[in-house]
Amino acid sequence: MNVAQWLAASARLHPDAPALLRGTAVQADYATFARRAAAIGAGLRRDFGIRPGDRVALFMTNCTQYLECLYAVWWIGAVVIPINAKLHGREAAWICDNAGATLAFVDEDGRQALVAVTEDLPPSMPMLSVDSADYQTLQRDDGGTPAPSPREDDDLAWLFYTSGTTGRPKGVMLSHGNLVAASLCYLADVDAVSQQDAILYAAPISHGAGLYNFIHVRMAARHVVPPSRGFDADEVLTLARQLDHVSMFAAPTMVRRLVDAAKRRKERGEGIRTIVYGGGPMYLADIRDAMATMGQRFVQIYGQGESPMTITSLRREFHADSDHPRYLERLASVGPAQSVMQVRVTGADGRSLPTGETGEVEASGPAVMLGYWNNPNANAETLKDGWLRTGDVGRLDQDGFLTLSDRSKDVIISGGTNIYPREVEEALLAHPDVREVSAIGVPDPEWGEIVVACVVLEQGAAANDAALDAHCLDAIARFKRPKRYVYLEALPKNNYGKVLKTELRAMMRA
């Protein structure tokens, strides 16, 4: 089926329900949202010759038009390429070219960034600015709301380029079936959704947060873009009080900032129903602090672009069940497989490892991508006999809870022994002077690699290798202790807030 059918159905069943909001201001109800999507879609076909299967890029910061454009493209059976708005124009142009984009929806910033690199864009690719009069004309067109074009489950819907910390990004092909499967898992494995709810897009719609739109469209909930169009902790806390029943996706760094703001404001996140966190490691010390400050509002997911938001989840009840004998182990895990998925851990020979042993995490199920766009080599490396090799290292416990250690390329091999940076990071983060930390391996003639801890201190704290070393001695095996501490003002992060270990390693080599 075509995911746009979910919008068509909500428009029929709940035409007057508020759909698109900027802050607290309603900009469209469901009938209007669907009519606009159908009208813009018709315009794409009529004025730009877009056909089913054609790729249409979206290069813009979060806005309510973002959702209109997504559904306009699907309405006519075409494919979206959501591009991270923080990319350089040249990088965005490379993606448009690689994907053979036939049109790009842009905002003013996106337009300027692409105009500056016209020579890199696919020849004669038109741009349509959502801030333009042309867009408003399309949006206002009232040709009724014809049914969305039929699509098969395996038809491509969402072509998303990985953040690519090394090499060129790869285009992850997600089908309508993938998106539906992942969205139904939200209900089964993350949270219930009703028309009362408001999904707040404080993280980029181009990435994971945007994938949560589907189930909220299906349930005719509110879609809220904050006026800042991004993440501002104070704005989120204020909006949540006004909107009530708010759910949002937040990367772990965003959760930390929300918790800091809640503490400062002496609030508990009133109005927030659920914060779904994931996309990077959440340290035990941080989630405990978050729950102590904001209460039971948290659900964790583990996924990757290649199986979007949908590999495992750690539901609310596992955050709350503090009487369970393995409570803390579970809290430090990413939970069991989501309903449509299977997870296994394999050794170097590709065979499943017994419970408790650490190896590469593999996932299979209907959320797993069709493959990478025009990239048979990457497909052969990543997809094996129906299993997605995630590149993450982890272990499963007897109840199926998965604990991630690290990306396989981040594992440190010192004196022939594997050291998982996450363990070192968890230990150091429990020290009151440490605000953030990333442990990396740095080449060493004697050990092969040594552990170097890149530490961001809490305000007012002073660098003190001896104190941190003594703290590690209490928490982890002697050989895992960092051999060096480096104090930084901030950790380098990509546009999604993920720590760039490659950059840290390069800094250390230099």
Query: Residue numbers of the site for ligand AMP (CB under 6 A)?
Result: 162-163, 278-281, 300, 302-305, 334, 390, 392, 404, 407
CB nearer ligand AMP, residue 145 or residue 310: 310
Residue 217: half-sphere exposure toward Cβ, Cα within 13 Å: 25
3-state secondary structure of 360: strand
CA distance 56 to 386: 29
Alpha carbon of 113 to those of 35, 63, 117, 333: distances in Å? 30, 18, 7, 40
Q: What is d(CA 243, CA 235) in angstroms, rounded to the nearest whole number?
A: 12
Specify the residue, 113 or 251, whose C-beta has the smaller distance to ligand AMP.
251
Q: Report how far apart, in Å, the C-alpha atoms of 95 and of each of 89, 315, 494 are.
A: 10, 35, 17
Q: Please say which residue, 65 or 338, places its beta carbon nearer to ligand AMP.
A: 338
| Min separation Cβ 15 and ligand AMP, Å | 35
Please report how close the Cβ of residue 344 comes to ligand AMP at its closest, in angstroms.
15
Q: Would you say 9 or 429 has its CB closer to ligand AMP?
A: 429
Tokens of 34: 């669907």
**Quick one: 125 or 404, whose CB is closer to ligand AMP?**
404
Q: Enter the DSSP assignment of 167.
A: S
Report the relative pairing of strands 342-346 and 383-384 from DSSP bridges: unpaired
Task: Specify the 3-state DSSP secondary structure of 98.
Answer: helix
Reported in sequence order, the residue ranges of 397-508 that DSSP labels E, i.e. its strands, are 402-407, 412-414, 417-419, 434-444, 448-457, 484-487
Min dist CB 364 to ligand AMP, Å, is 15
Distance of CA 360 to the CA centre of its chain: 21
461's tokens? 């704290």
Q: How far is the CB of 292 from ligand AMP (least distance, A)?
A: 20
Cα–Cα dist 240/267, whole Å: 11
* CA 87, 111, 179, 32 torsion-angle sign: positive
How near is the Cβ of 10 to ligand AMP at its closest, in Å?
Answer: 27
- Rounded to a whole number of angstroms, the minimum distance from the CB of residue 407 to ligand AMP is 5
CB of 322 to ligand AMP, least distance (A): 20
Q: Which is nearer to ligand AMP, 177 or 303 (CB)?
A: 303
Q: What is the DSSP letter of 122?
A: P
Distance CA 252, CA 276 (A): 10
Integer Cα distance of 328 and 318 in angstroms = 10
What's the length of the chain?
Answer: 510
* Among the listed residues 191, 250, 201, 192, the one whose alpha carbon sits nearest the alpha carbon of residue 222: 201
CB-nearer residue toward ligand AMP: 190 or 334: 334
Q: Which is nearer to ligand AMP, 33 or 249 (CB)?
A: 249
CB of residue 411 to ligand AMP, shortest distance in Å = 12
**210 vs 57, 63, 179, 450, CA distance in Å?**
15, 11, 11, 39
Return the SS3 of 495.
coil
Q: Minimum distance from CB of 358 to ligand AMP (Å)? A: 15
Choice between 30 and 214, CB closer to ligand AMP: 214
**Closest CB 300 distance from ligand AMP, rounded Å:** 5
Q: Tell me the C-alpha distance between 312 and 397, whole Å.
A: 13
Residue 198 or 370: the one with the smaller Cβ distance to ligand AMP is 370
Min dist CB 38 to ligand AMP, Å, is 31
| Mode of pairing for the β-strands spanning 342-346 and 359-364 | antiparallel
Structure tokens at 262: 């809640």
Give the nearest distance from C-beta 473 to ligand AMP in angstroms.
26
Side-chain-side CA neighbours of 1 within 13 Å: the count stands at 11
Task: Tell me the C-alpha distance between 349 and 87, whole Å.
Answer: 38
Q: Between residues 149 and 408, which has the closer beta carbon with respect to ligand AMP? A: 408
Which residue lies nearer to ligand AMP by CB, 311 or 472?
A: 311
